[in-house]
């Protein structure tokens, strides 16, 4: 595999379903997704499309400001990205159609749709289950739904969080999502009504939140702010990945290891492992023990995913 250095990388994501093409064929949930591509956004103002199998860069888009967030649609035909508000440029959300025919190098330079969300700038976004609608998380703590074709704000929850929304990850069927925030909490929202379904309150700012498939847990990561880390002890920083029961809103366990705040958490689509990336410069890949799959700490209550 070719390794390519990515300067100022901010966000990358592989198209849905799985990380490797041959695994994908066994998953029937996304009959149309191919998982051939990876998209990355960076502080060098570029958005790049990659071939997952060989690590080759297929196409590069250039913008006036840094790319803060990228996401694939469920069928992996579309990509959404957020660019930073800076140097007179407004925060912009662009949706690109991905041409999957051939080797993927022939992409249209211009976005399919583009708009500037008004008010607080958007930090995170993802496609929802409804066609033509994306959900966004904002610096003010707002969570909103946008029609990306018209740029119209369909609905919002101004007080979803008390501080910057730092992450937003979708449930497998995209009918709900989890957000994390600097206000030390994470929340599950209905992506149709924007109702807050669950709240998980921790003792440190959160940078990432993920949903475990097949198990009723969510994974939260964060810790003391990077700037105040040097003045606090390791034990006080709380640089652990925290597992919470998503229905009972109770913490069920922690995984230690990082010695800096956790910036991002991603769960394996099959729920067999998870990875966390920290400010300490480490990516830690964790595989669950057998007991994780076998034990039912809350009895045999049936919980829908």
Shortest approach of other proteins to residue 163 CB, angstroms?
A: 18
What is the DSSP secondary-structure string of 212-279? Answer: -SSSSEEEEEE-S-GGGGGGS-HHHH--SEEEEETTTTEEEEEE---SS-EEEEEE-TTSSEEEEEET
Shortest approach of other proteins to residue 182 CB, angstroms?
A: 18
256 near other proteins, judged by CB under 8 A:
no
Which residue is listed with tokens 């995913």?
305
252 near other proteins, judged by CB under 8 A:
no
Q: Which of residues 23 and 118 has its CB atom nearest to other proteins in the complex?
A: 23
| Contact with other proteins (CB under 8 A) among 3, 230, 233, 295 | 233
Residue 191 near residue 174 (C-beta atoms within 8 A): yes
| Contact with other proteins (CB under 8 A) among 103, 173, 214, 296 | 173
Task: Tell me the number of residues near other proteins by CB under 8 A.
Answer: 29
Half-sphere exposure for 303 (CA within 13 Å, toward CB): 17
Which of 88-96, 127-135, 143-151, 262-270 is the region at the interface with other proteins (rule: CB under 8 A)? Answer: 127-135
What does the alpha-carbon distance between residue 294 and residue 112 come to, in Å, rounded to a whole number?
Answer: 46
Shortest approach of other proteins to residue 35 CB, angstroms?
A: 12
| Contact with other proteins (CB under 8 A) among 190, 270, 272, 293 | 190
Q: Which of residues 1 and 227 has its CB atom nearest to other proteins in the complex?
A: 1
297 near other proteins, judged by CB under 8 A:
no
What is the DSSP secondary-structure string of 112-145? Answer: SEEE---SSPEEEEEE-SSTTEEEEEETTS-EEE
φ, ψ of residue 105 in degrees (nearest 5) = -85, -15
130 near other proteins, judged by CB under 8 A:
yes
| Contact with other proteins (CB under 8 A) among 88, 102, 131, 297 | 131
Scan residues 64-123 and list those touching other proteins (CB under 8 A): none
Residue among 234, 123, 218 at smallest CA distance from 177: 218
Distance between alpha carbon 116 and the CA centroid of its chain, in Å?
21
| Contact with other proteins (CB under 8 A) among 60, 105, 108, 175 | 175
β-bridge pairing 250-255 and 241-245: antiparallel
CB-CB neighbours of 48 under 10 Å = 21
| Contact with other proteins (CB under 8 A) among 105, 159, 214, 298 | 298
142, two tokens? 């707002």
Q: Which of residues 109 and 235 has its CB atom nearest to other proteins in the complex?
A: 235
Residues near other proteins, by CB under 8 A: 1, 21-22, 25, 53-54, 129-131, 173, 175-176, 190, 192, 197, 203, 232-233, 235-236, 247-248, 298-299, 301-305
């Amino acid at each position: 595999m070719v390794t390519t250095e990515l300067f100022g990388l901010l966000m990358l994501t592989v198209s849905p379903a799985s990380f490797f093409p041959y695994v994908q064929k066994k998953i029937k949930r996304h009959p149309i997704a191919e998982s051939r591509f990876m998209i990355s956004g960076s502080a060098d103002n570029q958005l790049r499309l990659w071939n997952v199998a060989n690590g080759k860069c297929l196409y590069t888009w250039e913008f006036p400001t840094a790319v803060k967030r990228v996401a694939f649609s469920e069928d992996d035909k579309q990509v959404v990205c957020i660019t930073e508000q800076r140097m007179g440029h407004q925060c912009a959300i662009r949706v690109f159609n991905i041409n999957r025919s051939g080797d993927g190098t022939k992409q249209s330079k211009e976005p399919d749709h583009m708009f500037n969300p008004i008010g607080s700038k958007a930090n995170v976004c993802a496609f929802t289950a409804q066609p033509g609608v994306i959900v966004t998380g904002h610096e003010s703590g707002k969570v909103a739904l946008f029609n990306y074709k018209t740029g119209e704000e369909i609905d919002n929850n101004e007080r979803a969080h008390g501080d910057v929304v730092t992450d937003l990850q979708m449930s497998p069927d995209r009918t709900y999502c989890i957000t994390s925030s600097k206000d030390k909490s994470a929340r599950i929202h209905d992506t149709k009504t924007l109702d807050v379904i669950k709240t998980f309150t921790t003792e440190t700012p959160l940078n990432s939140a993920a949903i475990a498939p097949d198990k009723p847990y969510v994974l939260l990561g964060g810790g003391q702010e990077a700037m105040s880390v040097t003045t606090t002890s390791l034990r006080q920083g709380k640089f652990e990945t925290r597992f919470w029961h998503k229905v009972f809103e109770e913490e069920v366990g922690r995984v230690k290891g990082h010695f800096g705040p956790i910036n991002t958490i991603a769960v394996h689509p099959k729920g067999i492992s998870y990875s966390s990336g920290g400010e300490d410069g480490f990516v830690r890949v964790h595989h669950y023990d057998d007991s994780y799959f076998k034990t039912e700490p809350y009895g045999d209550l049936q919980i829908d995913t």
